[in-house]
């Protein structure tokens, strides 16, 4: 595989798993919520409005630039759900509760599909990398997808183990900070590890 081809496949992998821009679109509103929460004497409504407004601006910016809207719209919907839950409960920490649910769901999904030897990574990346489901008949490639899948189980589980106790304690600042550092940086590290595993085993080609 050429260097140019490797870089192209690496970009496909990152984009399929969420993409750098998608992570920024979904992560910035949470950061703004935390900042405004502290600057506004812990006013939940003001913090929510700021986060939702930023998410709308990011989505509109993608519309203007005619870029992919999938992650921006999913981020907007996600922020809207977080805002609704937090506003109804009156608990600022609940703004981060849907994120915990999502991490728990993904951890379970990756674990189950790995155990039944239908790794979700293979189902997601196979068509993108041009091997579709051929990897199922290639023991080495199947093992690579399963091995990489455990990295994602580890990432989602680590987020839960650290962030849920902070949520339960109501420590909004610590929770928001943990989500920030365990968001984009940890995703990039896990995506890089995934690529390092997958690139060692050639994609499965049709006979």
The answer to whether the beta carbons of residues 51 and 33 sit under 8 Å apart is: yes
For 69-137, the DSSP string reads -HHHHHHHHHHHHHHHHHHHHT-GGGGGHHHHHHHHHHHHHHHHHHHTT--HHHHHHHHHTT-TTGGGG
Return the HEC string of 145-180: HHHHHHHHHHHHHHHHHHHHHHHHHCCHHHHHHHHH
Task: Look at residue 86 and tell me if it is in a domain.
Answer: yes
Task: Look at residue 135 and tell me if it is in a domain.
Answer: yes
Task: Look at residue 207 and tell me if it is in a domain.
Answer: no
- pLDDT tens digits in sequence order for the chain, 207 residues long: 333 345 556 666 766 666 556 666 667 888 899 999 999 988 999 999 999 999 888 888 877 777 666 666 777 888 899 999 999 999 999 999 999 999 999 999 999 999 999 999 999 999 988 899 999 999 999 999 999 999 999 999 999 999 999 999 999 999 999 998 998 889 889 988 999 999 999 988 876
Please report the sign of the dihedral spanned by the C-alpha atoms of residue 65, residue 67, residue 73, residue 78.
negative
Question: pTM of the prediction?
Answer: 0.85
For 170, the domain range is 3-198
Task: Look at residue 203 and tell me if it is in a domain.
Answer: no
Domain count, the chain: 1
Task: Look at residue 44 and tell me if it is in a domain.
Answer: yes
Task: Look at residue 185 and tell me if it is in a domain.
Answer: yes
Distance CA 177, CA 96 (A): 11
């Amino acid at each position: 595989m050429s260097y140019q081809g490797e870089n192209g496949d690496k970009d496909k992998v990152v984009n399929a798993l969420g993409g750098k821009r998608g992570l920024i679109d979904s992560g910035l509103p949470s950061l703004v919520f935390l900042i405004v929460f502290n600057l506004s004497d812990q006013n939940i409504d003001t913090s929510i409005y700021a986060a939702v407004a930023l998410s709308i601006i990011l989505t509109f910016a993608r519309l203007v630039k005619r870029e992919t809207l999938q992650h921006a719209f999913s981020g907007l919907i996600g922020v809207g759900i977080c805002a609704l839950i937090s506003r109804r409960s009156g608990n600022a920490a609940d703004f981060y509760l849907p994120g915990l649910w999502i991490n728990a769901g993904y951890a379970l999904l990756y674990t189950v599909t790995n155990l039944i030897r239908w790794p979700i990574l293979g189902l997601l990346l196979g068509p993108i990398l041009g091997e579709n489901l051929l990897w199922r008949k290639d023991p080495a490639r199947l093992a690579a997808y399963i091995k990489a899948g455990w990295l994602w189980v580890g990432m989602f589980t680590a987020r839960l183990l650290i962030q849920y106790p902070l949520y339960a304690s109501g420590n909004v600042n610590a929770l928001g900070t943990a989500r920030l550092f365990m968001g984009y940086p940890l995703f990039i590290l896990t995506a890089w590890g995934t690529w390092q595993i997958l690139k060692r085993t050639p994609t499965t080609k049709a006979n």
